[in-house]
Amino acid sequence: MKKKSKVYNPEVELAKGATLDAASYDKTQKIKVTAGKVTVGGIPGRAEISGIATWHIPEAGIEGTCDLWLSIFRYMRPDGTIDHVGGWNIPTVLKAGQTAAATAKAFADYINAGTRPYHATASGGKLKIVFIVK
């Protein structure tokens, strides 16, 4: 954290956050981002997963996976220090017949087990990700 001489503006700083992006590399299970910004101020990023996964090739590569990305960003704390939040690539390997709800839960479990400042909840095929200060 670095000290800056800028004045803290909560409206500006709380609107900063990670851009959420997603992709599916499965023939029948898809993922769509419905709210693409996870903000410091608590606005969640959201994604919806649909369909039943068809298959997974057991070799290395992206085929048969579903992936989320949270971008890097910086924000100022009220004390004037700057926090840098690293980006995060979050993959999950799909299994043949895996439901959208199971994929959403797999993403939530992975995010919640990590050390990054995010928390996720899954409900059916819907995923919600919030920024938390640890």
Cβ–Cβ under 8 Å, residues 37 and 14: no
pLDDT for residue 64: 86
Residue with tokens 């981002």: 33
Quote the pLDDT of residue 109: 98
Residue 55: pLDDT above 80? no
**Entry pTM:** 0.91
Residue 113 confidence (pLDDT): 97
Q: How many alpha carbons lie under 13 Å from residue 134 in its C-beta half-sphere?
A: 10
* Element of type H or E holding 111: helix 100-113
Look up residue 32 and give its two tokens.
């769509």
Both tokens of 30, joined, read 């898809």
Record the tokens describing residue 45, joined without a space: 């990023």
| C-alpha–C-alpha distance, residues 69 and 41, integer Å | 19
